[in-house]
Structure 1
């Protein structure tokens, strides 16, 4: 009989392909051999629900996570994330920025990390001082207000990746930053971020789709990010949706289809609450729009992350034909408490997380697909 600790790596790797992420983590804690296998990528991991990245526990200096599958919180010490604001998530990696407007790209569970150049905050396109001037004075240095340094961390609205850095070293990071969410990009080896020239109105989401980056604006205009001869935004496709109506707009790659998703909200007792979504496919080749009324067995996960979809038939406790959403704090909101699941069949909204109010300084809870 072969001892459990001496089982061959191919057999152990096959076993891990059936395990959800927390169990792979526990698997790797058994012994040295099992730990080395837990880091291999011979087999794709078992399908899983994304986790929520929550606030840092200021007393124990650990970052909080919430596993949707287990309905369980985890507090994990990640020194690199201490005191940082999370502004993006892609392929299991997090973008985090500190009060000096410097950022990192990190896999929070393997601790692989890239140091990012300072974000392009002090230029003609975006200036923290300009942002401060637009904030009511009682928000600043008040009991629930922000200091100047804390406000600087909000300079990046969203950040995504073109590829998983574990698969390709020539990946590109794209951010939306500043007063109107101007696009800028960085590649490993670059000493600074390169700002993309474009129209002077607000951008609301960015995605990587079939080899290109696309940005959607508050004017419902879809833009292609062109890198040569100089980085700029070029309008493509038909005008999408109704100008000015949605609270938030999202883009995502859904099984090779580009989707544009509108989020509608209403004011309820002074709070902005989500009431519904529209899902539209902009066909760039035909220059036409197709409205989707369901997504079958799939679920979408929207927020400040690169949008995620999951096949509910492969994952326990995942509600099919649903849109899981987190609040997107834009600027200097008091608190975040708009989270839920929108059912595309009956148009009703249910909850997935009971505690809904988060401190203002952590920004939005953000979806993350955990990887080792």
Structure 2
């Protein structure tokens, strides 16, 4: 019998096609031959659940990650992320901003990186609430700042960021961001010296999506917009006017856009007030806007898939291929933009079952509390 280290490349490549990310790294650590094969892998990786990107480890400064499929933490040394705030993920890449409001686009598993042009400062965003904080940062009776300092507030200028394409596959990609308290939109492509701000009939947006060659956005009043880049970038209202499907709002609604198997979906995340007077997630409603027919449909389930919502570009996976994933489940993280995590806490995580309309958990609350960064879902992309 041949030694395992002497297996031919085609056999080893076939084996790696069944491995999720953690096993892929274990595979490459066996010997030089296996490591070489793993680097030359040409086939798509095995289906895998997203990971959560957490905060820096205070002692090692490594970035902490949480593998949902293993219910296990990993600590990766990614110096480029040290001290940076994560404001989005897309195609396995992270958008990270530091205290000086300089941003990078980085794949944390390969450390490939793009330097981004300077981002607008909070002082320039015409945000009344933030202006008040700049003038006087809240403090306790001893004069100690409560929650975040001004320097810690500044990186949070980016509410969300997404990509049109995976930079590993093409250099012809575009990044789109929502920034400032009013969530204005702007874009950048490699070669541009600055971000281009987009004008529109409304400056506040809840989410953005790249769908079939265009960027779309959704506003708090459920209006859909498409980005028209020529001759001057602007937002144009498209599609049907979608009413609030949950009836009367309680704590409010957060909206997400997702490209789901070629369907554009608008997802309403509704909130309620709990016994501690905090706003927590109450449920989700999935809506399919039909742009050409100027109408919309309500979905009762998501065909056995699972969705992952947060500051990431929304992710979906086929739960039939991943036994540890809840069918028709919507996994969510805390979208809180509060400037005082000590007061509000990043506590609103869970999974919503669209079949029986129940709420569950996928972690222990102590795993994520307390910290500054709001955890972000990412699909590992080291290949």
Taking structure 2 as the reference length, what is the TM-score of the superposition?
0.91
Q: Distance in 1 between matches of 2:340 and 2:296?
A: 34
Q: Cα distance, 1:127 vs. partner?
A: 4.6
Question: Once the two structures are superposed, what CA deviation does each residue of 1:218-270 show, in whole Å capped at 9, x if it has no partner?
Answer: 12110001111111100000112329934200000000000000001111112
After TM superposition, the structure 1 = structure 2 runs for residues 288-303 of structure 1, keeping only pairs within 5 Å, are 288-303=295-310
Alignment correspondent of 2:360: 350
In the superposition, relative to structure 1, how do residues 94 and 366 fare at CA in structure 2: closer, same or farther (>3 Å)?
Answer: same
Match of 1:259 among 265, 276, 285: 265
In the superposition, relative to structure 1, how do residues 360 and 181 fare at CA in structure 2: closer, same or farther (>3 Å)?
Answer: farther
> Is 1:359 matched up with 2:370?
yes
In the superposition, relative to structure 1, how do residues 106 and 278 fare at CA in structure 2: closer, same or farther (>3 Å)?
Answer: same
In the superposition, relative to structure 1, how do residues 127 and 84 fare at CA in structure 2: closer, same or farther (>3 Å)?
Answer: farther
Question: Once the two structures are superposed, what CA deviation does each residue of 1:56-108 show, in whole Å capped at 9, x if it has no partner?
Answer: 11111111111110010111111010000000011111110001111111111
Question: Once the two structures are superposed, what CA deviation does each residue of 1:280-318 show, in whole Å capped at 9, x if it has no partner?
Answer: 000001010100001121011100001001111101210
Aligned length: 370
Alignment correspondent of 2:292: 285
Alignment correspondent of 1:317: 324
Q: What RMSD in Å do the two structures reach over aligned CA positions?
A: 2.1
Match of 1:249 among 251, 255, 260: 255
Q: Distance in 2 between matches of 1:217 and 1:186?
A: 21
Q: Distance in 2 between matches of 1:221 and 1:120?
A: 26
**Is the deviation greater in 258-267 or in 23-32?**
23-32
Specify the SS of the correspondent of 1:120. coil
**Is the deviation greater in 115-124 or in 344-353?**
115-124
In the superposition, relative to structure 1, how do residues 154 and 123 fare at CA in structure 2: closer, same or farther (>3 Å)?
Answer: closer
Q: Distance in 2 between matches of 1:127 and 1:62?
A: 35
In the superposition, relative to structure 1, how do residues 25 and 233 fare at CA in structure 2: closer, same or farther (>3 Å)?
Answer: same
> Is 1:151 matched up with 2:135?
no
Q: Distance in 1 between matches of 2:170 and 2:139?
A: 43
Specify the SS of the correspondent of 1:23. helix
Q: Distance in 1 between matches of 2:33 and 2:128?
A: 53
Specify the SS of the correspondent of 2:138. helix
Q: Cα distance, 1:122 vs. partner?
A: 5.9
In the superposition, relative to structure 1, how do residues 9 and 129 fare at CA in structure 2: closer, same or farther (>3 Å)?
Answer: farther
Q: Distance in 1 between matches of 2:186 and 2:8?
A: 46
Q: Distance in 2 between matches of 1:330 and 1:122?
A: 14
After TM superposition, the structure 1 = structure 2 runs for residues 45-194 of structure 1, keeping only pairs within 5 Å, are 45-121=45-121, 126-127=125-126, 131-133=130-132, 137-138=137-138, 142=144, 144-194=146-196
Question: Once the two structures are superposed, what CA deviation does each residue of 1:167-220 show, in whole Å capped at 9, x if it has no partner?
Answer: 111011111001211111111111111111113442110011000110001121
Q: Distance in 2 between matches of 1:366 and 1:320?
A: 21
Q: Cα distance, 1:30 vs. partner?
A: 2.4
Question: Once the two structures are superposed, what CA deviation does each residue of 1:315-367 show, in whole Å capped at 9, x if it has no partner?
Answer: 121000110111102241422110011011110000001125533522x1110
**Is the deviation greater in 27-36 or in 79-88?**
27-36
Question: Once the two structures are superposed, what CA deviation does each residue of 1:120-177 show, in whole Å capped at 9, x if it has no partner?
Answer: 33686x1578614168842698454211111101000001110111111101111100
Q: Distance in 2 between matches of 1:39 and 1:206?
A: 34
Q: Distance in 1 between matches of 2:210 and 2:339?
A: 28
Q: Distance in 2 between matches of 1:73 and 1:170?
A: 34
Match of 2:236 among 234, 237, 245: 234
Q: Distance in 2 between matches of 1:338 and 1:40?
A: 41
Q: Distance in 2 between matches of 1:190 and 1:123?
A: 23
Q: Distance in 1 between matches of 2:127 and 2:60?
A: 31
Gaps of 5+ in 1: none
